[in-house]
Structure 1
Amino acid sequence: MENNDDKKNKNETIEWIKSIVTAVIIAVLIKTFVFNTTYVLGYSMYPTLHERDRLFSLKVPLYFSGPDRGDVIVLKAPDNTNKDYIKRVIGVAGDEVEIIDGKVYLNDQILEEDYIDGDAFTHTYNESSWIVPVGEVFVLGDNREEGASKDSRYFGCVSVKSIKGITGFRYFPFDDRFGKIY
């Protein structure tokens, strides 16, 4: 026969298990539908992001509007299914993006890019002009050194469905770059 202490311990154990299972379910739902964390490998987004930066990426905006020009996004790498890339959205559906003499033009206007290094020269590969189809975006890395970034110059426009989140906040390292990403 069970005494009161055994019953109390059993009830406490059941409550602990319920709490842990609930916490795990909530964590999985948040990670799946709300936000994720991202670790930067490489220098394709330098000077905005540095190797080993850690970022939050939000998924919620993608349910309502999709990315806007200038957003820094995390996307499934179109050329390697085991990788994610971090890039900046330059053009959205209907935009014309051109690279002429190392400068990026958006809809026939030179694009002001205060996030790249000084007078960085934007190299092209096979093409130098793109019209962004519906449901896709044109992305570039902020590092425009030749070969520094695999982006839409290399693999073309990317599907909005391949975007895993919009980054906007660097949570590590805890230095003068901590905080909002511009």
Structure 2
Amino acid sequence: MERARVDHQTKRDLRAADTGAWASIKETVKVGVQALLIALVVRTLLFQPFNIPSGSLVPTLLVGDYLFVSKYSYGYSKYSLPLSEYLPFKADGRIWAAEPKRGDIAVFKLPKDNATDYIKRVIGLPGDKIQMKAGILYINDVAVKRERIAPYETTGPYGEETKVEQYTETLPNGVVHQVIEREGDNGYWDNTEPYLVPPGRYFMMGDNRDNSTDSRDLANVGFVPFENFVGRAEMIFFSIDEGTPAWQIWQWPTKVRWGRIFSSIH
């Protein structure tokens, strides 16, 4: 009898242990699903991560920068939301629309294919006249203030260390940012015809003026429709030297640009 009671108690203990283990598994799954749903909502509606694959916004953004883009800054369009065909977009292609401001760094879908993500700075607003003359940016026939500062240290076409001219630009609304001129003031896009920005379109440029395919190139980028905007670049959350994969954590101590992490974008 004593042996039977012991066996019975053991079975009850095993059942209790199984029940507790199953409850623990269910709780873990529940927490995991909740975390995934929260991450999905955040990524869909609030912030989306992007990484910088090219140097068109040097010195502001570097190859290897990882940043958060706020998707709510300009409202939402079919290019920034999944299942957008079921949403009530207005005639201008956005809901809860808020217009980009001059000087914003924004991610948008390339008008040429409406699929490729591009990131540039907002320079021209609807109705503006934009022109480059000898490296100087003109907005509505007024030269944008430009001041030379210390040269920017970078690499040349063959990987050699070099220095290029660097300036601060002050846009008409007071936004101050840096630009570089790798080819001086006589690069391919340093002298252009005037561009008249159509209604509902924006003129986008890179800060690396001689190494940026942007709205100056009408055939490949041109004027960007408002509905193509995905969001505004807000903060760098990670940065690693060009050519170093982020997953190689053993290289982080020497390759991560620690001073750029959690820095805001202007």
Q: TM-score range by the shorter chain?
A: 0.7 to 0.9
Unaligned segments of structure 2, at least 5 residues: 1-11, 76-96, 146-168, 170-176, 240-256
How many percent of aligned residue pairs carry the same amino acid?
A: 32
Which residue in 1 is equivalent to 2:258?
A: 175
Cα drift, residue 87 of structure 1: 0.5
If the length of structure 1 is used for normalisation, what is the TM-score? 0.84
Superposed CA deviations along residues 123-152 of structure 1, whole A, max 9, x for unmatched, are 43996222222322110011111xx21110
Asked whether the equivalents of residues 125 and 153 of structure 1 are also in contact (C-alpha less than 8 Å), the reply is no
Q: CA RMSD in A?
A: 2.7
Change (3 A) 1:153 1:125: farther
Cα drift, residue 50 of structure 1: 1.4
- Count of equivalent residues: 180
Alignment match of 2:207 (pick from 123, 133, 142):
142
Asked whether the equivalents of residues 58 and 165 of structure 1 are also in contact (C-alpha less than 8 Å), the reply is yes
Counterpart of 1:31 in 2: which secondary structure?
Answer: helix
Asked whether the equivalents of residues 128 and 153 of structure 1 are also in contact (C-alpha less than 8 Å), the reply is no
Alignment match of 1:93 (pick from 114, 126, 134):
126
Separation in 1, partners of 2:48, 2:28: 27
| 1:114-133 to 2 correspondences below 5 Å | 114-117=177-180, 121=185, 123-124=188-189, 128-133=193-198
Which structure: larger Rg? 2
Separation in 2, partners of 1:127, 1:111: 15
Counterpart of 2:59 in 1: which secondary structure?
Answer: coil
**Matched AA of 1:152:** S
Which residue in 2 is equivalent to 1:33?
A: 45
**Residues 73-82 or 38-47, more deviating:** 73-82
Counterpart of 1:28 in 2: which secondary structure?
Answer: helix
Which residue in 2 is equivalent to 1:13?
A: 25
Which residue in 1 is equivalent to 2:109?
A: 76
**Matched AA of 1:14:** K
Superposed CA deviations along residues 108-167 of structure 1, whole A, max 9, x for unmatched, are 22123241127953643996222222322110011111xx21110112111122222211
Cα drift, residue 16 of structure 1: 2.2
If the length of structure 2 is used for normalisation, what is the TM-score? 0.60
**Matched AA of 2:72:** V
Q: Does 1:105 align with 2:138?
A: yes
